[in-house]
Amino acid sequence: MIKKIAIAGGVACGLLVSAFLIFAVVILAGHYQIDEEKLVMNNSSVLVDQEGEVITDLYMENRQVIPISEVPEHVQNAFVAIEDSRFYEHQGIDFRAIGRALYRDILAGAKVEGGSTITQQLAKNVFLSNEKAWLRKTNEVLIAMNLERRYSKDEILQMYLNQVYFGHGAYGIEAASKLYFNKSASELTVDEGAVLAGVVNAPSYYSPFEDKERSKERRDLILTVMEQQGFISADESSSYKGRVIATDRQEMTEDESLYTYIDMVMDEAEERYNISQEELLTGGYRIVVPINREMQRSTYEALQNEDYFPEGSKDAQASMMFMNAESGGIIAAQGGRDYVRRGLNRVNVKRSPGSTFKPLSVYAPALEDGQYQPYSMLRDELLQYGEDWIPKNVTGEYAGEMTLYDAIEVSANAPAVWLLNEMGVEQSLAQLSEFGFELPDRGLSLALGGLSEGVTPYEMTKSYRAFAEEGRMVEPYVIQDIYDRNDRRIGGASPIQTEVLSKQTAWSMTRMLESAVKEGTGSGGPATSSVIAGKTGTQNYDQVEGANSDAWFVGYTPDVIGTVWMGYDQTTQDQYLHGGSAYPTALFKSMVNTLPSEMQQVAFSQPEGTQDLAPPIAMEEIEDFEATYSIGGQGLLSVELTWKGFEDERIEYHVYEVEEDGERELVASNLTEPHFSQGRINPFSIPSYEVVPYDPVAKIEGEASAALDPSFSFSF
């Protein structure tokens, strides 16, 4: 007897130990399979403007994770009622529900009811694949039991409601609420919550977008179950069933005008903040961007408009970039007329800049060196450089000499090359390096933008900022601030200004580039309310007479800096631009006209400590020139010269003695009054005299008066 009792006790102990071991294995197995990183769900990131208005969502799965506190209790109850009525009573597995489901399946002769709890569904959706392995259900149970041990019921329900799929690309209760009803989950009514609870069972079947009557039947069933379980009264159930399903469909549609900007945000997130594309699409970031939404839309629409492109080249490509002059924030960007996500962003494609490069490679370095001023004279002639290069003006006309100011205004090629040759390529390259360009080119073709690799619209916009902002540059950006899913700021723009030019050089360049738009090559296109300074550029295509490969306009207002480029990705003898810089110039001006009124400035502000450019001095002919001799005065004989003064009081005068053999000797210079007197001792050696107007700014003489022999006039 004692032996039997001992045996029974041993068996019992063995069973207890076995049960304990089995329980431990269950707990450990489930615990081992819970990877908490998987519970951090893919969460849509969002782009917002500086006012906090949502621009677009970025996601792999359209999901906005919200806390359970933002889900109304009646919405929670709808899901519990239909999916897991004993959710708050079981520990992850509802054996009663499993038995009931099994009984009904046997009666029906087929599977008609599931027994999975909300916790099991969460375990299956998050941790398990759809593979029908024999251990899959076992794993689901193990994980569900351990989830219940690790998390509260509210935490499990929160994860479930944020994870579950609602159809039409919406994941989670918040995205579903916005999709079906255009409201946050916190605003859902009882009947709307019942609709969403009905959808999750079979989204494609119960979606109110697919079949409203079927969706209503499902909703009414859930309302009945909620009544049976005491969540709502019979009167409430009847009232809610009487409502029609009023959806307000808000499916996420992609705005093609934003494609370039979105890609630039993603590139910058990776390059500057080490956030990969996948992480950005799943990490729930909030990204503040400096975009001007109206201008972004306007630039997109303009590129679709063939009227902005030359006849014969209506299919040409184009790109645009505009940034805030003060901050460097990019307010609009388009990478092409048919840009697709992650496509070729022509804002970053190198092209030959043509004459838009002259201010950077020639004129700014020349002014910065101090040896040249805006009205310094440059040679405007056909000159040969090297063995066979003779740069030509597009007009085919040559003045012999012209001021640096005029050379910019009319975009003459010959003076630009002459000036670069005079000051030296190394000086140009040193200044270009300050602008951020590291180029392999070492020839005089730098003057005309003839580069072996080219430059990008992004780089040109960035460099012209030095002219607009007192000689300082900043790095452009599209991410002003970036916050993680916990709303913690993890990065953002902090533009560092780098001085690359003196304020005086920058202001002088602005004045000359302003004139180029008012009176020169940039004068075409629509009138603008805002003042503009800028430069045109056209790169010809040598293979076809009259053809061009690239056309540019780079310019700025007091508030905005931008670049427009036109051309083909591949220029060939059959595919080339039939027009030049007039087209991007007109497009640039049209975009400036879309800026809000507060960004339409009528004049640039002169920086403190700079000298403004006076209008160029117009040299005139000397009139009413008279020369007389007088007895006495400062010597035995005196010469008196008089002439009519000019209205422009800046003009000075030089006086020359002219001998019979034609030799000239300067006897007076920089006279500010229209008269001159000189005492002479020898009355038998009397030369002729000339008066020459002199421009002290450009340091050039005008046309000399006729040589005049003095006549006698006696005075005592």
pLDDT at residue 113 is higher than 50: no
Give tens-digit pLDDT for 136-151.
677 888 888 898 899 9
Asked if 83 is an active-site residue, the reply is yes
Residue 328, both tokens: 């460097």
pLDDT at 106: 52
Question: Where along the chain do its domains lie?
Answer: 1-33, 63-241, 626-712
Class for the domain spanning 626-712? mainly beta
Report how far residue 49's alpha carbon sits from residue 51's, in angstroms, rounded to the nearest whole number: 5
Give pLDDT tens digits for 158-176: 999 998 999 988 899 999 9
pLDDT digits (tens, 9 = 90+) for 463-491: 999 999 999 999 999 999 999 988 999 99
Residue 482 bridge partners (DSSP): 287, 491
Q: What's the pLDDT score for residue 629?
A: 81
Q: Tens digits of per-residue pLDDT, 52-93?
A: 999 998 988 888 899 999 999 999 999 999 999 989 998 878
Which is it for strands 548-556 and 286-288: parallel, antiparallel or unpaired? unpaired
Select which of 45, 83, 140, 411 is catalytic: 83
pTM for the full predicted model: 0.78
Q: Which fold has domain 63-241?
A: Penicillin binding protein transpeptidase fold (1.10.3810)
Residues in CB range of 555: below 8 A, 6 or more apart: 464, 513, 517, 522, 532, 533, 534, 535, 561, 562, 588
**Catalytic pick among 45, 215, 355, 508:** 355
Q: Is 515 a catalytic residue?
A: no
Residue whose structure tokens are 């998050």 = 126
State the Cα–Cα distance between residues 374 and 507, nearest whole angstrom. 11
Residue 28: per-residue pLDDT: 45
Does an H or E element contain 587, and which? helix 582-592
